[in-house]
Structure 1
Amino acid sequence: MKIFPAIDIKDKKCVRLVKGDFENKTEYEMSPVEQASKYKDHGFKNLHIVDLDGALTGKTVNLDIIEEIVAKFDLKIEIGGGIRNFESIQKYTDTGVEKVILGSAAIKDKNFLKKACEKFQNKIALGLDAKDGYLSVSGWKENSNQLTLDYLKEVNQYGASRLIYTDINRDGMKQSPNFEETTKVADTSNCPVIISGGVSSIDDIKKARELNNNNIEGIIVGKAIYDGDIKLDELAKELDA
């Protein structure tokens, strides 16, 4: 199982939000590039990055930071945050990231998702963020009134190469991911699924592995690393488990 340590970027700093709330954020001393270096030194190969400035503006605000991380470290990076057009996708793929995550734009416009998957084959990851079974959009401020599984069934054939499923109620809360709902998503999805939101301890990594679901590709770990609940040395051991 792949482990994706997370970096959320806001105002050039590493931050973590609680349930996606920009008013409820913690800033950390470490710069995004320093944090990426730390992950690389511990043997991690995958990285999950969210450009929160991008999520707010719809622009590739921190492209320079992403370019620097890609250039310095041999890491497979998935990047998300306000990616709403082909131009932004192209900019990111040109930097050499592994996957570009489409969220709100793909939910609001299924045709955009379809065309993006056709144009950027094997590069598009679909980010589905759900609250009580319904998809949320626009930085989690709006409920789309679409049930997650219904939407997924509609777009399943479009060719997304990865799906990242986040339970918003768990995100930043360190209460363990919603394994039950993620399993339902993985059982429905045509592409591999990443677990996101709520990882609180090494036990959550072990539990994810024990799900023994061939369509669950990996898990994202964020706040628990920054707050010291999960030590990187300890997490790195799980890479070889």
Structure 2
Amino acid sequence: MRLIQITDCHLHADAQARSRTGLPHRQLERVVAAAAGLRPDMVLMTGDISEDRTAASYAEAERLLAPLACPWFWLPGNHDEPGLMADCRPFHETLDLGRRRLLLLDTQRIGQEAGELGEARLTALAERLAEDDRPTLVAMHHPPVAVGSAWMDALGLTDADAFWDVVAGHAHVEAVICGHIHQAFVGRGPESAGGVPVYGCPSSSDQFLPGAEDFAVDEASRPGFRVIDLTREGLSTWVERVDL
């Protein structure tokens, strides 16, 4: 099975609105075309679909993803308006991948850039992990590990330790997929939780400069997406970049 992750589109109601380095609508269109060419079985959008939190921006996302010949799903990021997203396309908490499951977590804190699961969501995650022992992928917007950029690490998942405490009781968690960081990234959770791999993804819009102390855009980098191939033997993953 091939899963493709697209993230941090930052769309506006106005399709001609610019980001810091380009046109988010045109960039997402190119990303979707490249992703479709790799024939995914499923596409997952890991948050910050919108920049202006408008119904029209989510309608634009649906229009731009229409060329995909596979199901696609999304979860909210810190820039999103979950109510408008759900009105446009329902959320899913669990996706059946056959031999695996994919759990989608909402880490949004209303009005905050950083993310949080909170006690209720952590309890629900523990219950969902306990109900099925198939290999499981967990997707969220905010990274649950430091990514090496001081400013971004201050805006990650604030209760990451509690998240990993839940994961530690469930050895079938195979990987965590996150958005928010606008860059390719591979890390690991704590050894106490099994050292689960954590994969970040380039944005379909602006790219952030890896390793930066303060906010910085990587103007030399290109939009991209992550490909995740799931087989009997395990998981393989890589990042594809898109020429504009």
Task: Report the TM-score, using the length of structure 1 for normalisation.
Answer: 0.50
- Using CA pairs under 8 Å that are at least 6 residues apart, name the structure with larger relative contact order, 1 or 2: 2
Query: Greater helix share, 1 or 2?
Result: 1
Q: Answer 1 or 2: which has greater strand percent.
A: 1
